[in-house]
Amino acid sequence: MEIVTIDGPTSSGKNSVGFLLSQKLGYQYIDTGMIYRVGTYLVLTSNTALNDVAAIVNIFKSLNLRFQTDESELRIFNEDVDLTGFLHNQDVTQNVPIVAAIKEVREITKVVQRRLGESQNTVMTGRDIGSEIFPEAKYKFFLTAKVEIRAKRRFDQLIKINPTTSYETVLDDMIKRDKVDTEREVSPLRIPEGAIVIDNSNLNVEQSVEEALKHINA
Ligand code: C5P
């Protein structure tokens, strides 16, 4: 099986790039952030306390996930229930880093991710795919962009939902989130050994995919 890993910080465009790259290669696409988001959604809707590690671990142990690619979108099902539409609720986004920082949760999701990637040729995106989940992958990418540019991308999305959004606040939040992600004890965000770094500050999604394909076809 061939695995292409793409890691990177928030708003680096890794999910759009991963999706398009998977289509060009004819591989399945797995966005691992969705696994943490589904688990967090189930934690919140079952009123499980965020400090009840044993209960959270049980929720992750009982996940029965399936990914499905529609023409333009990746969907995720648990027990055949489509949860895709709930994953970007504000409470999920706010709490997913807390859940994703639990060591036992990451041990369970590692098994899930390995199984998914071993089943067929795959493009997998996340934070630690090239370092922890598939360190042996043939093609590893680290996608990034200047924080001001990533903040602008996020701002452009948020302003559509909330016209009072301020760019300065978005930038400030992103700098803080970068710090948490890179300094956390469990699986900190870092450039995986052997990964090709693509700074897409001045590239759109298609151009970033072309850049990745250049390395894959070389
Ligand atoms: O990529 P996305 O923003 O959907 O990921 C949601 C959250 O899940 C991240 O902020 C991070 O805390 C966590 N995550 C992770 N490891 C991954 C993918 C996501 O810790 N491989």
- Residue 133 Cα: closest atom of ligand 1: 21
Domain ranges of the chain: 3-207
- Residue 7 Cα: closest atom of ligand 1: 21
Architecture per CATH, 3-207: 3-Layer(aba) Sandwich (3.40)
DSSP state of 115: H
User: pTM (2 decimals)?
Assistant: 0.95
What amino acid is encoded at 136 in this protein? E
Q: pLDDT, tens digit, for every residue of 37-65?
A: 999 999 999 999 999 999 999 999 999 99
Q: What are phi and psi of 186, to 5 degrees?
A: -90, 120
Residue 23 pLDDT = 96
For a mutational test of ligand 1's pocket, the pick from 30, 32, 103, i.e. the residue with the most ligand atoms closer than 8 A to its C-beta, is 32
Tell me which residue of 77, 75, 39, 79 sits closest to 59, measured CA to CA: 39
DSSP state of 158: H
Q: pLDDT, tens digit, for every residue of 112-138?
A: 999 999 999 999 999 999 999 999 999
Helix (H) or strand (E) segment spanning residue 39: helix 33-45
Residue 90 pLDDT = 87
- Pocket around ligand 1 at a 6 A CB cut-off: 10, 32-33, 36-37, 96-97, 100, 126-128
Structure tokens at 45: 């809707």
Q: What are phi and psi of 69, to 5 degrees?
A: -100, 120
User: pLDDT tier at 184 (50, 70, 90 boundaries)?
Assistant: confident
Q: pLDDT, tens digit, for every residue of 21-35?
A: 999 999 999 999 999
- Residue 93 Cα: closest atom of ligand 1: 6
